[in-house]
Amino acid sequence: MSEKQIEKLARKEALQLGSYNAGMSDDAVRETWQVDSISRLASNENPLGASPKVAAALRSALNHSSIYPDSASLKLRQALAELTSTEAGRIVIGNGSEELLKLLCLAFINPGERVVTLEPSFGLHQIYPQMMGAQVTLVPVDPQMEFDLPAWQQALSQPAKMVILSNPSNPVGCMLGREDFNRLIEQVPQDCILVIDEAYYEYCHHLSDYPDSLSVLKTLPGPWIVLRTFSKAWGLAGLRVGYGIASDDALAEVINRVRTPFNINRSAQAAALAALQDPDHVTASVALVTEQREQMRQQLMSLGYQVAPSVANFLFFRTGGDSRDLANKLLARGIIVKPWREAGYTDWVRVSVGSPEDNQIFINALRDIYATQCG
């Protein structure tokens, strides 16, 4: 079959869809750049890995590999309901929270409907709505790389089917504080689905200005969902578990109707349940990352880079040139970062806060690259 025939058969939304910038695997980097050791600073993973309890749970789940997992992920939903003080009927589980973004779009977005999200943004906040034929409105951050409330208020003055807002934002890391959060959600049109993506919740929920979204959103008349994930602070990115807390059972049920019945495999369910038994692991991870992040911020600033504010486990900094050039120089040293490719931000790089060793390797490499340029 020719490319032309495929083009004729496929939906135009599928043909025109941008691809998600998932970054290179360690193996691909080793092969392409002929390096032995790799510093993974591109995917915001937990440098401490998962809790040791997870490995034990996985070993025991292996004995049941021939048996289908619980399609309802009931135990996990009950545990998450307890964790978030909600009811299990309002909890939905996804193959990563990214699957929940896709399911939300699949369940709600008709071609031509408007979706409002942030710019620069997590790629899938644009890609999944576009897959359904949505018109995506992007709301940029302000020059200080903070949420631009007036711009949001203006964007929300028009009808919209869905608002997708990550707080803190990815890739910037900035946080929408309590007061601004309250003002923003008041503007969300009534028949609009409000999606708050809190993938980095664990890194900032203790900050006094971080909005307690679940208690504030309760007062909203319209539908909403808060998305969180086991991929970041819980250290389970490889197993793919995310969850949503929906405004009501009916919203959770629609999402369940469009998902594949066994979207969370047996090992992933067991691992997430085990991870929840070890909240101290998250606390320790967050403490390490916070301390390392502030050290890296200082080091980047002393090298002359503009660094965006961040309360998450990554930093977004401006390279002053095409970010791919710097990213390639780092790749040649085995360091993987994420050069941003979105128009207007192609001179920015997102770097994850990794282990103290990897962070030091990264900073040393930058100093070295800088010295080579000047010498």
Tell me which residues touch ligand PLP (CB under 6 A).
44, 96-98, 122, 166, 170, 197, 199, 229, 231, 237, 242
Three-state secondary-structure class, residue 8: helix
Residue 338 Cβ, how far from ligand PLP at the closest point, in Å? Answer: 11
Among 366, 309, 312, residue whose Cα is nearest residue 337: 366
Nearer to ligand PLP, 39 or 170 (CB): 170
Residue 339 Cβ, how far from ligand PLP at the closest point, in Å? Answer: 16
CA dist., res. 189 & res. 192, Å (int): 5
What is the 8-class DSSP label of residue 138?
A: E
Nearer to ligand PLP, 40 or 333 (CB): 40
Among 332, 292, 341, 339, residue whose Cα is nearest residue 312: 292
Nearer to ligand PLP, 149 or 237 (CB): 237
Residue 304 Cβ, how far from ligand PLP at the closest point, in Å? Answer: 27
Residue 37 Cβ, how far from ligand PLP at the closest point, in Å? Answer: 24
CA dist., res. 337 & res. 352, Å (int): 7
Structure-block tokens of residue 15: 């043909």
Residue 236 Cβ, how far from ligand PLP at the closest point, in Å? Answer: 8
Distances (CA, A) of 265 to 69, 81, 227, 274: 6, 20, 19, 14
CA dist., res. 277 & res. 281, Å (int): 9
Nearer to ligand PLP, 128 or 299 (CB): 128
Q: Is cis: bond before 171, omega within 30 of 0? A: yes
Q: Which residue is nearest to ligand PLP (CB)?
A: 96
Residue 227 Cβ, how far from ligand PLP at the closest point, in Å? Answer: 7
Nearer to ligand PLP, 96 or 129 (CB): 96
Using CA of residue 196, residue 201, residue 205, residue 207, what is the dihedral sign? Answer: negative
Nearer to ligand PLP, 100 or 192 (CB): 100
Residue 96 Cβ, how far from ligand PLP at the closest point, in Å? Answer: 3
Nearer to ligand PLP, 197 or 202 (CB): 197
Nearer to ligand PLP, 199 or 326 (CB): 199
b/e sequence 132-165, b meaning 16+ C-beta within 10 Å: bbbebbbbebeeebbbbbebbeebbeeebbbbbb
Among 228, 226, 238, 245, residue whose Cα is nearest residue 271: 238
Structure-block tokens of residue 3: 């490319």
Residue 240 Cβ, how far from ligand PLP at the closest point, in Å? Answer: 6
